[in-house]
Amino acid sequence: MPRHALFIHGTWLTPAIWEPFQRRFSACGYRCTAPPWPVAQGGRQPGISTLLAHYETLVRSLEQPPLLIGHDLGGLLVQLLLDRGLGQAGIALDPLPPRAGLLGFCSTWPWLLPWMGWRNLLYMTPQYFARNMAQTLTPAQQSAAYARHIVPAPGRVFVEAALGIGNAVDFSNGERGPLLLLAAGNARVVRASVVAALYHRHRRSSAITSFKQFPGYSHWLIAEPGWERIADYSIEWAQNQVGRF
């Protein structure tokens, strides 16, 4: 039976961001899926607990525990799912930290400013994207990436991430699956120092925890030129965990 890889996208994005990664993993024998976030219900935008329940249901519906791969808020969801005993292993790329206080606030504060933003969809400007998410791209690449991939995001998730609502993790949980944390050296949304600090928190667990920083990459590391290096490292790490599953 082929191994299953489940990809979880982050804020501002759709599952389409994972298409190159899925092709890479599929070529290595993985059966890949990248489900979208649940839609708003009754005018209420989804929060972290809603997203977590959505992906937990998906994971439990699979024939075997999948490899979980998430970016940004998707990386936070990977940590939450692993902590709940779901998934064979997890890879979190430039992940938001769980219940992280100042660390979470530093990653989300620009989106806490709009009045009543937690109730509404928030919109990222092309200027913010170019300066903070994909500053390593050329202007032409930034424009193309923004037009293809950036969508509004529910303000609720930023407030909950900053305040630690619905995203507690037991950092000493020795029963969770192996976890790989990947940091982009030039990231401005979730800085490499934040991911490194998160790694040290997860090291309280006896479960396998790995960390790798990629110098020169931005928060857009899963789609910027050179993304293949990120994908191949992830595949190699996952393959090395197979004997431990």
pLDDT for 118: 56
pLDDT of residue 115: 43
Q: Give the count of alpha carbons within 13 A of 193, CB side only.
A: 5
pLDDT at 163: 81
Predicted confidence at residue 100, as pLDDT, reads 53
pTM (global) more than 0.85 = yes
Mean pLDDT, 10 residues at a time, the chain of 245 residues: 90 96 96 91 80 97 95 98 97 89 51 54 93 97 98 90 88 97 96 95 97 98 98 96 63
- pLDDT at residue 194 in the model: 93
Q: Exposure pattern of 186-207 as b/e (b: 16+ CB <10 Å)?
A: bbebbbbebbeebbebbeebeb
β-partners of residue 7 are 69
Q: Where are the domains of the chain?
A: 4-240
Residues in the chain: 245
Question: CA angle 220-39-219, nearest 5°?
Answer: 10
Q: According to the 3-state scheme, what is the secondary structure of 70-115? A: EECHHHHHHHHHHHCCCCCEEEEECCCCCCCCHHHHHHHHHHHCCC
Which CATH topology does 4-240 take?
Rossmann fold (3.40.50)
